[in-house]
Chains A and B, each alone.
Chain A
Amino acid sequence: KAGVTQTPRYLIKTRGQQVTLSCSPISGHRSVSWYQQTPGQGLQFLFEYFSETQRNKGNFPGRFSGRQFSNSRSEMNVSTLELGDSALYLCASSLRRKALPGGNEQFFGPGTRLTVL
């Protein structure tokens, strides 16, 4: 099975611009979660999409948004970029099976490294 893929892998933008990142989950996985990772803050949860609906949300401003398509692919958008948005953006997919145990293990993509100048 192919793993989680993210595009692009690297991005350089300037303050005030907007950016869209893409994530394709593992085949059969319907849940996609997005994280921001910085050296100072660690891995911070942004949001999760399942069946095209946002199911969970972290504590990020409204400039960060996302969506999920019917094929489970997801996009994340950041508008009005700030210097502090420079980070590694990771997406992770899971089965999100209802009954535990098992089924909500998350598998990460390689990430998109965003640099804001």
Chain B
Amino acid sequence: QKEVEQNSGPLSVPEGAIASLNCTYSDRGSQSFFWYRQYSGKSPELIMFIYSNGDKEDGRFTAQLNKASQYVSLLIRDSQPSDSATYLCAVSRSSASKIIFGSGTRLSIRP
């Protein structure tokens, strides 16, 4: 079992709709959760981080965390073609621990 699992996609979503990206993790001691966006040929860019159960909203992005289910998700509202990218989920146990990345979900927003 991988430490951080994501559906590789591609996930195709029509422009203006909500894109929902999911991630599960195996380490129950994980405390920090991150979402990165990576455009083709570029480096990952941090877009959200969450530490507590529940929802965290930032503009069109909402991160959702459920530690009991070991599940974290990212919702993108009003999807735009510029949101087309690979989204990486990452988790870590503590500030002294390495961050473990999932293999990413490729998102495609169709006009």
Closest chain A residue to B34, Cβ basis: A105
A-B contact count (CB 8 A): 65
CB atoms of A45 and B98 under 8 A apart = yes
Interface residues as binary, B40-51 with A (CB distance below 8 Å gives 1, 0 otherwise): 001111100101
Give the distance to chain A from B93, nearest Cβ to Cβ, in Å: 10
CB atoms of B43 and A105 under 8 A apart = no
CA distance in complex: A42, B89 (Å):
12
- A32 on the B face (CB < 8 A): no
Give the distance to chain A from B30, nearest Cβ to Cβ, in Å: 11
Contact partner of A101 among B51, B96, B101, B102, CB < 8 A? B51
Interface residues as binary, B68-104 with A (CB distance below 8 Å gives 1, 0 otherwise): 0000000000000000000010101011111111111
A-side contacts of B88, CB under 8 Å: 43
Contact partner of A100 among B44, B95, B103, B104, CB < 8 A? B95
Q: Taking beta carbons and an 8 Å cutoff, which residues of B are in contact with A?
A: 31-32, 34, 36, 42-46, 49, 51-52, 88, 90, 92, 94-104
Stretch from A11-19, A76-84, A107-115 contacting the other chain? A107-115
CB atoms of A42 and B100 under 8 A apart = no
CB atoms of B32 and A101 under 8 A apart = yes
Question: How many residues from A make CB contacts under 8 Å with B?
Answer: 27
CB atoms of A48 and B44 under 8 A apart = no
Closest chain B residue to A35, Cβ basis: B101
Instruction: From B49, B88, B98, name the one whose CB has the most chain A CB atoms within 10 angstroms.
Output: B98
CB atoms of B98 and A108 under 8 A apart = no
Contact partner of A104 among B45, B99, B102, CB < 8 A? B99
- Supply 10 further A-B pairs (C-beta < 8 A) apart from A43-B101, A105-B34: A42-B101, A42-B103, A43-B44, A43-B104, A45-B98, A98-B95, A106-B99, A107-B46, A108-B44, A108-B46
Give the distance to chain B from A115, nearest Cβ to Cβ, in Å: 14
8 A Cβ contacts from A2-28 to B: none
B-side contacts of A103, CB under 8 Å: 95
CB atoms of B98 and A90 under 8 A apart = no
- A63 on the B face (CB < 8 A): no
